[in-house]
Amino acid sequence: MGLLIYLNGKLVPEKEAKVSIFDHGLLYGDGVFEGIRGYNGRIWKLDEHLSRLYNSAKAIMLEVPLNFYDLKNAIVQTVRANKLKDSYIRVVVTRGAGDLGLDPSKCRVPTLFIIAGTIQLYPEVLYEKGLDVVTVGTKRNLTESVSPSIKSLNYLNNILAKIEANNAGAAEGLMLNHLGYVSECTGENIFTVRNNSLYTPPVYAGVLEGVTRNIVKEIAAGIGLKVVEKNMTRHDIFTADECFLTGTAAEIVPVVSLDKRIIGTGKPGETTKRIRKEFSFLTREEGVPVYE
| Active site residue ranges | 151
Helix (H/G/I), strand (E/B), else coil: 115? strand
Q: 27, 103, 96: which is closest to 64 by C-alpha?
A: 96
Query: Are 237 and 175 a contacting pair, CB within 8 Å?
Result: no
- Identify the burial level of 22 via C-beta atoms within 10 angstroms of its C-beta, where 0-12 means exposed, 13-18 middle and 19 or more buried: middle
Phi, psi dihedral angles at 208 (to 5 degrees): -75, 130
Amino acid in position 12:
V
Neighbours of 39 (CB within 10 A): 17
Handedness of CA 164, 167, 168, 172 (dihedral sign): positive
Neighbours of 26 (CB within 10 A): 16
